[in-house]
Every structure is written in structure tokens, then in C-alpha cells.
Structure 1
Amino acid sequence: MTKNNTQVSLRTGNLDDAESVKELQREVLSESEFMISVIEEFEETTEQLRNWIQRILVNERETLIVAETEGKVVGLIVFRSKNTKRLSHTGSFTAMVNKAYRDRGIGKLLIKELLNWTEQNPLIEKISLGVLSTNQRAIGLYKSMGFVEEGRKIKEVKFKEDLYVDDILMYKLV
């Protein structure tokens, strides 16, 4: 149960979620000013997403967790790890929640579930993320969950002429 009494279940994503994941990604990319990619760059087919999910499912250092309410995928968090020996103890995550379901604590639930997963996974020691400096709500959430800033890419994202945003790099050791 989340804020506003929304019944949400969390589970590991599976191949059958490909179409729902595609729909969620399209929704978030089409309306969010906090994503680096834009909807025009999103061209993945359902089959490509199924292959992407399959690669995650077979990698013991990666996971995809979905948030579902009333049979609809309304959020997700994906943790990806590097396949190089010296970076294999680390990984980064991306999270997204459908705009209609934000401010209900779903993002926090997804991060808590990811933290539980990483604590049970002896291969993972560090979780990283990137967040746009304009996304103050997300930065506050990450800090409240123990993530700290470790760096900043100045003017990393260009929205339009003379409008740049920093990419803040954050991490948490597990």
C-alpha cells in the first residue's frame, strides 16, 4: 500500500512485460523533462525489449523490478552492471513511474526493493545513478535513502540553445 491508498505489487519483470515496459517508457519519455532521452529517440520494438529483458534475467548481477497496480505496470527500476572484471561489483539503475502514479511512494518502494535485492546479492557492492540537477524531488528521495553525490557533469544535458543541465552522479555502498 502506498500514499493515497494505492495497492501496488512489486515483482521481478519477465518476458511477458515487454509490451507494458514499452508503453511505460513511451509515456514517461513523452512527458518528462527529467529524462535524457526523448520520445523521438525511442524506437525499440517489443521483440527488442523482450531480448533486453532476457539478457537482464540471465545475468546474476542485474535485475528488472516492476510496480503493478490493477494489472497495469506503472513503474519500473532496472539495475545494470558492467561486464568487465574490475567494474563487476558496481552497477547503476534507472527508474521511472507513470506520471499519473507519481507522489504515491512507488519510486521509493522500487528503490527499497532494489536495495533489498543488492543486499542479498554478494556480487554487488556499489549502486550508482545519474540524476538531472533540475530534478530536486528525485535528488531528495535519493539522499533520504542514503545516496550521496560523488560528482557532477557540468552542462552535460542540452535541452535547447543556452539551456543546459548538470548530471549529478550519486552512489550508495551496500
Structure 2
Amino acid sequence: MEKMDLKNGKEVIIREASKEDAKFMIDFYNVVGGETDFLSFGKNEFVKNLNDYKDFLENTRKEDNSIILLAEIDNKIIGIATINSSPKARFKHVGEFGIVIAEQYCELGLGRKLLDYLIVWANANGITKKISLVTSENNYRAMELYKKVGFEVEGILKKDNYVNGVYGNTIMMGLIL
């Protein structure tokens, strides 16, 4: 567990997710899905069986090359950041990064803090050698942050997503550790 202050002075707790968080995480994802067009799901589209999601969270905690972090204010989730990696020997060195922050807490330094935390964790786990991510070509704010910490564009998936009646490209980025 780690504490940090946002630019607005609010204290945030960053901790690893557990199976007890499953319902709150599903609810959080279903709300933030309606706040942005940059996620792979919209409002109320993060449909997961609660027990299956609890199992997923518990199994992820046991993996040395995967982690799920929660950012909370007053015991309420305001952000989730993840690195999920394959158990397969050929790919277990690559962690797939994801981050979601509630709209009202964007631009307050939380994204950078979570990303820095995960990069340090990945460097220290003894397995992860690369962090990969995908994002919408229009997610300029996020891509700027990723580039600041060393991510490079590795490819473009053309017409890979469909949001609000428009096909868009997905940008693949990677960070070699």
C-alpha cells in the first residue's frame, strides 16, 4: 500500500486488488465506460460474472508477472491500473498494461503515479522485460504520458475500433525494460 497526494490535495491510497474488491471494480468499470470513448467497453458493458471475476482477481494475485492496482479515496475506487501477463514461457516476459481513471480525477497526476509504480514493479519482478499497451489514436493525453516514460509506437491497427458510428485506429505501444 502506498499513499500519494493529488494535485488537488486529496490523499489517494494505492493498493493491490483482492477478490473482495470484485463487485466494486465491476461497478467502477461500468460507470467509467460511459465517461470516455477510449476504453474497449462503454457504460454498463463490462459484463462479468461476479464469482468468475473474484477467481480472476485471486489468480492474478498469485502470479509473479501480473498485478492489479486500485487507487482509492475514502475507500472508493477512483482508478485501476493493471499489468497482465501470459503464463506461457514464450510470452510471460511481456506485460499488457491497462489504466482507467474516473473522469473527475484526470489531470491530477494519478495516471503518472500509477504508471511509474507499475514500471518499478515490472522492473523488480524478475520476469517482465517489456510492457505493451493499446490505445485509441485519439487518446492524445494518454499517449503523451506514455511517450514521456519511454513507450514507443510499435504499430497501428487500422479501423480496429468502432465508437459512436466511426471506425478508428488503435495504436500499439511498447516499453522495453
The two structures have a TM-score, normalised by structure 2, of 0.92
Judge conservation of contact 2:30–2:45 (CA < 8 Å) in 1. Answer: no
Partner SS for 1:87: coil
Give the letter for the 1:25 counterpart: Y
Shift of 1:31: 2.2
Determine the structure 2 residue equivalent to 1:169. 172
Determine the structure 1 residue equivalent to 2:104. 100
Shift of 1:143: 0.7
Judge conservation of contact 1:6–1:104 (CA < 8 Å) in 2. Answer: no
Q: 5+ unaligned residues in a row in structure 1: which ranges?
A: none
**Relative CO higher for 1 or 2, CA cutoff 8 Å, sep ≥ 6?**
1
Corresponding pairs, count: 173
Structure 1, 34-43 or 6-15: larger mean CA deviation: 34-43
Higher helix share: 1
Give the letter for the 1:133 counterpart: E
Identity rate of aligned residues, in percent?
Answer: 26
Shift of 1:40: 4.9
Partner SS for 2:28: helix
Partner SS for 1:134: coil
Deviations along 1:100-137, one digit per CA (max 9) or x if unpaired, are 21111111111111011101111110000001001100
Partners of 1:160 and 1:18 in 2: CA distance: 29
Structure 1, 152-161 or 98-107: larger mean CA deviation: 152-161
Are residue 76 (structure 1) and residue 80 (structure 2) matched? yes
